[in-house]
Structure 1
Amino acid sequence: MTNKTKSGARTTETSLEIVDAIRDLDGATMDELSEYLGLAPSTIHRHLVTLRERNYVTQENGTYRIGFQFLTVGGYAQRMTTAFPMIKEKVDSLAAETGERAQFIVEEHGERVYLYTEVGQSAVQTGAHVGKRGALHTSAAGKAILANMSPERFDEIVATRGLGKVSENTITTREELTEECERIRERGYAFNRQETTEGVHAVGAAVTDSEGDVLGALSVSGPAHRVKGTQLTEELPERILSAVNELELYIEHSVQT
């Protein structure tokens, strides 16, 4: 790699660090960014000028915030996802039918990413939103994805991402996760019993294409005191598997036509 290429890569990295800092601080002044990142204000200013010109950040009364240009780019990525209109339809239907929160999650760089989410009339706030990222092994949808990917990819993700603990019920050993994935493949869906957030249960199932490759996973989550018993173990799995089946048939038909 030439020095010029290295310099360009570092410039890009610094710009992205500034963007992340603005997000982490929920908006920040030049001095706050300088202190947070340990960079000179002059350096930060150079990057912010370009980011503002490209609408990736905004500035008002000395405070910088994330710009809607990221929404433009993110919206494009969302729309370009295979069968997104049908995914949206199924998530919306699950939310309306169950009254809980429904979502479609994809895997990227070994993490789960919320591609689309909708809330039903009884849904509680869990902090989930489009674009939010997290560990695959801590959620129903994430575990469903892990269970249906190739053994090589599974090994790679576990090795590079680890199995960090986010709640008292999080799976933290490779042996336990492997056994859980075997059970998920046998029954066709995964459970999340307060493994991500205390007091929240979820059910998720993977969506695959005609080649068996995982495209993502549908899931429904809700408060543990309400999503329990047969609703957790029978009713929600049946609804989700039905939606997954229709989505997979739609994807297969779309490819063939």
Structure 2
Amino acid sequence: MSTTRNNGTVKTARTTFQILEELKRKNGATVTELTEEFDLSNSSIHNYLSTLEEDGYVIKNGTEYKVGLRLLDLGGFARRNRHIYDIAKSEVTALAESTGEMANLVVEEKGKGVYLHRAHGNKAVRTDSYVGQRVHLHNTALGKTILAHLPEERVDEIIEHHGLPRTTPNTITTRDALLEELETVREAGVSFDDEARVQGLRCVAVPIINNNDRVEGAISVSGPTSRLQNEYFTRELPEELKSAANVIELNITYM
């Protein structure tokens, strides 16, 4: 195993996290399966896994290794350090209760959206999203809301680094179309996702802007297209979200 630096990175550290990401992607894997994914011997992979297991970052069940709950401790700590989480979570939960749908809080980090809080209403449908998940910004209402309030040069950096992959037929996949959409979002103060990431799912999102005019994150309500329709989708939900965002922004300002 090499521990030499390459462009400022330590290769063993990067490999460790790549192994964890692969365990997450596969929802568990054996040493042999991981060896097939990495240019490392069985013994090297086993050494990585044994160290991670000893420290609680992976668990072993028979011959299979899975991500351990020690990582939840780190994630929970990171989330608490985002002050917007404590400030916004009660309003997001209230949105879920009042609408019966799924309500979300997302922030941008390293050019992707990260779910900090999700609340399920009594009618909420289950999706593939979860707290801590990192998603592209261009194909969600939450992400477009955040992008709309970032400098254009930052938007270009994000596009350059992460691209604009298509996830459904409704996904925006060109820079010009995205910038045009972001201008509409800025003017309206609200963003809509009409099956752009998940077919059958719609979402409405608004930004959280601090008193320095910087976007702190975004909140949303999402639900099936069969329920998010007409004026409820285009007018009533946006107004309810804007009201919640106003409360969050005031609390950010005066806390």
Per the normalisation by structure 2, the TM-score is 0.95
RMSD of aligned alpha carbons:
1.5
After TM superposition, give the deviation of residue 119 of structure 1 in Å: 0.9
Task: Map residues 129-208 of structure 1 onto 2, 5 A cutoff.
Answer: 129-208=130-209
Asked if structure 2 preserves the Cα contact closer than 8 Å seen for 1:21 and 1:37, the reply is no
**Change over 3 Å in CA distance of 1:8–1:215 after alignment to 2:** closer
Q: In structure 2, list runs of 5 or more residues that go unmatched.
A: none
Identify the range of structure 1 (32-41 vs 100-109) with the bigger mean alpha-carbon deviation. 32-41
Q: Deviations over 1:28-86 (max 9, x none)?
A: 12122222334211001111122112211111222211111110000001111023222
SS at match of 1:137: coil
SS at match of 1:169: coil
SS at match of 1:152: helix
Matched with 1:19 is: 20
Query: Separation in 2 of the partners of 1:118 and 1:39?
Result: 42
Matched with 2:41 is: 40
2:251 pairs with 1:247? no
Matched with 2:96 is: 95
Query: Separation in 1 of the partners of 2:179 and 2:222?
Result: 23
Asked if structure 1 preserves the Cα contact closer than 8 Å seen for 2:4 and 2:11, the reply is no
After TM superposition, give the deviation of residue 150 of structure 1 in Å: 1.4
Identify the range of structure 1 (244-253 vs 208-217) with the bigger mean alpha-carbon deviation. 208-217
Identify the range of structure 1 (8-17 vs 175-184) with the bigger mean alpha-carbon deviation. 8-17
Query: Separation in 1 of the partners of 2:107 and 2:39?
Result: 34
Query: Separation in 2 of the partners of 1:240 and 1:226?
Result: 17
Task: Map residues 59-70 of structure 1 onto 2, 5 A cutoff.
Answer: 59-70=60-71
Aligned structure 1 segments of 4 or more residues deviating by more than 4 angstroms? none
Q: In structure 1, list runs of 5 or more residues that go unmatched.
A: none
Query: Separation in 2 of the partners of 1:222 and 1:8?
Result: 42
Query: Separation in 1 of the partners of 2:5 and 2:38?
Result: 23
2:85 pairs with 1:76? no
Matched with 1:115 is: 116
Give aligned pairs, total. 252
Matched AA of 2:241: I
SS at match of 1:165: coil
Query: Separation in 1 of the partners of 2:94 and 2:4?
Result: 52
Asked if structure 1 preserves the Cα contact closer than 8 Å seen for 2:84 and 2:216, the reply is no
Q: Deviations over 1:155-180 (max 9, x none)?
A: 21122222111110111111111111
Matched with 1:54 is: 55
How high is the sequence identity, in percent, across the aligned residues? 39
Q: Deviations over 1:188-227 (max 9, x none)?
A: 0100011111111110011121111111100110000110
Query: Separation in 1 of the partners of 2:242 and 2:10?
Result: 44
Query: Separation in 1 of the partners of 2:202 and 2:234?
Result: 11
2:213 pairs with 1:212? yes
Per the normalisation by structure 1, the TM-score is 0.94
